[in-house]
Amino acid sequence: MLKTASQSPSSLSPPQVLTSLAALLREWLPKQRWFAGKGRPVTDLEVLSTTALHPGCLHLLIRTGHSGQPDDCYQLILGVRENLPLRLQHAFIGRPDAGPLAGLTVYDALLDPRSATLLLERLRTPGAMGPLRFERDAQTVVPEGLEPRLLEGEQSNTSLVYGDSYILKLFRRVHQGINPDLEVPRALARGGCARVPAAVAWFWTTEPRKMTLGVLQPFLREATDGWTLALQSLAAGEDFSDEAYELGRATAEVHLALTRAFGVEPLDPHGGVRLAAAMTSRLESAADQVADLVPYVSRLKSAYGAVAARGTGRQAQRIHGDLHLGQVLRANDRWFVIDFEGEPARPLAERRHPQAPVRDVAGMLRSFDYAAYTRRPRRAQWVERCREAYCAGYAAESPWDPRADAELLRAYETDRAVYEALYETRHRPDWLPVPMAAIARLAEES
């Protein structure tokens, strides 16, 4: 039974919660895989909203600031108890020594099956809870009593699997507006695209502004992600080109479904110039944060200059935005595409903006290179065959062949590798050599 000296945690205001949690969160947040502010001290911390999901379980939205950098907003679901039972020891975050929660134990409630179960229960019934809004697809009935498990692994967010039937993705770094990982699966399902699991329930907040917080989708049982399959292929010394070809076809199918769902932009006569300027600005901003990029900046800029006159290859449309081998799942001999959130480091408005589909193609080609880098010596021929097969599969389903404009494709691959250098610096510094090896190669070719 939960006891506090004065007040129940459920009735605490955001400033009261902050008094108790500030010290713990400053220490705990940077250790989380999904926390984007690693290596930068949290100079500013604010609790923006608190909602009791059930007694002793707080839903929090917090703002973190790092001096001179834009603020970030994160979603946390924390449990508060007097003592943690042995089965929840691994969820321990700390014991506040100040404020109304002093002396109690704070823990990660997503690791508590009871909290995870109650969260699904909340999603099954549309309605409001403080600033939180729960909605669902009227056609789908999610059964009750599905057993939860937290998905382990390298993720930008946190996912819970329920009874191997549904998966709930809780967005960690949240942004104003609808998250494309809700918007796109809903739109594609309406258009009958079977390559993307549909959204069956979701929730969002009205405070401090409208932000998507989580999406429930059907869980593809027996699915293996493309990254795992590619590494297995490399380890066995096998070819991956049949899979890559099918993956190219699946990518083109999803691109075409996206044009049907969201339309295409009129062709921009200045598209090439704008593209080169945007890539250059992303490169410059990344080089400010990743010192290893600095020696390559001028050579990469001249490669971008070459695409200025050429345009973007195809009309801009909604795309995946962060396509790589970890975003595709193979189940029942078919590829599925997941995670339409786009590149987490980019602003949400930019991620929802129509773009050239070649950007996704470049993302997948970079991913074949990432996979090959995990083995020594790097299997250059394996990569080459995957690239060729992927583009051929794409061209088989689409009126556009990604190989038709090698310079444009290389510019997008460079842009992607620059993003990856930034991403790895922030999240997995040990992986920085992977995109840096590609940057060195691409700079050499330009």
Ligand X SMILES: O=P(O)(O)O[C@H]1O[C@H](CO)[C@@H](O[C@H]2O[C@H](CO)[C@@H](O)[C@H](O)[C@H]2O)[C@H](O)[C@H]1O
Binding site for ligand ADP (CB under 6 A): 151, 155-157, 159, 167, 169, 197, 217, 219-220, 223, 225, 326-327, 329, 338-339, 341
Token readout for 85 is: 């039972």
In angstroms, what CA-CA distances link 342 with 100, 104, 299, 384?
39, 38, 27, 26
Q: Does 360 bind ligand X (CB under 6 A)?
A: no
Minimum distance of ligand X from residue 129's CB (angstroms): 28
- Taking alpha carbons only, the member of 100, 101, 99 closest to residue 82 is 101
Contact 58, 93 (CB under 8 A): no
Minimum distance of ligand ADP from residue 233's CB (angstroms): 17
Residues 195-230: b if buried by 16+ CB within 10 A, e if exposed: bbbbbbbbbbbeeeeebbbbbbbebbeebebbbebb
Query: Nearer Cβ to ligand X, position 326 or 357?
Result: 326
Minimum distance of ligand ADP from residue 226's CB (angstroms): 9
Candidates 366, 379, 387, 426; binder of ligand X (CB under 6 A) is 366
* Residue 159 interacting entry, from ligand X, ligand ADP, none, C-beta within 5 to 8 Å by type: ligand ADP
- Please tell me the distance from the alpha carbon of residue 183 to that of residue 201, in angstroms, as a whole number: 12
Candidates 335, 370, 373, 412; binder of ligand X (CB under 6 A) is 370
Query: Nearer Cβ to ligand X, position 104 or 199?
Result: 199
* Residue 167 interacting entry, from ligand ADP, ligand X, none, C-beta within 5 to 8 Å by type: ligand ADP
Contact 277, 240 (CB under 8 A): no
Positive or negative, the CA dihedral 324, 347, 129, 111 is: positive
Q: Does 185 bind ligand X (CB under 6 A)?
A: no
Q: Does 367 bind ligand X (CB under 6 A)?
A: yes
Candidates 59, 169, 324, 351; binder of ligand X (CB under 6 A) is 324
In angstroms, what CA-CA distances link 307 with 133, 268, 270, 302, 405?
45, 14, 11, 9, 10
Positive or negative, the CA dihedral 379, 363, 180, 26 is: positive
Minimum distance of ligand ADP from residue 156's CB (angstroms): 4
Candidates 313, 321, 344, 393; binder of ligand X (CB under 6 A) is 344
Owner of token pair 């789908």: 140
Q: What is the DSSP string of 64-78?
A: EE-TTS--EEEEEEE
Specify the amino acid at residue 85: P
Bond into 185 cis (ω within 30): no
Minimum distance of ligand ADP from residue 326's CB (angstroms): 5
* Residue 151 interacting entry, from ligand ADP, ligand X, none, C-beta within 5 to 8 Å by type: ligand ADP
Q: Which helix (H) or strand (E) holds 105?
A: strand 105-108
Q: Does 227 bind ligand X (CB under 6 A)?
A: yes
Q: Does 379 bind ligand X (CB under 6 A)?
A: no
Query: Nearer Cβ to ligand X, position 366 or 410?
Result: 366
Q: Does 246 bind ligand X (CB under 6 A)?
A: no
Q: Does 343 bind ligand X (CB under 6 A)?
A: yes
* Residue 343 interacting entry, from ligand ADP, ligand X, none, C-beta within 5 to 8 Å by type: ligand X
Q: Does 352 bind ligand X (CB under 6 A)?
A: no
Minimum distance of ligand X from residue 268's CB (angstroms): 26
Residue 279 neighbours by CB under 8 Å, 6+ apart: 304, 307, 411, 414, 415, 418
Contact residues toward ligand X (CB under 6 A) are 154-156, 227, 322, 324-327, 339, 341, 343-344, 366-367, 370, 420, 423
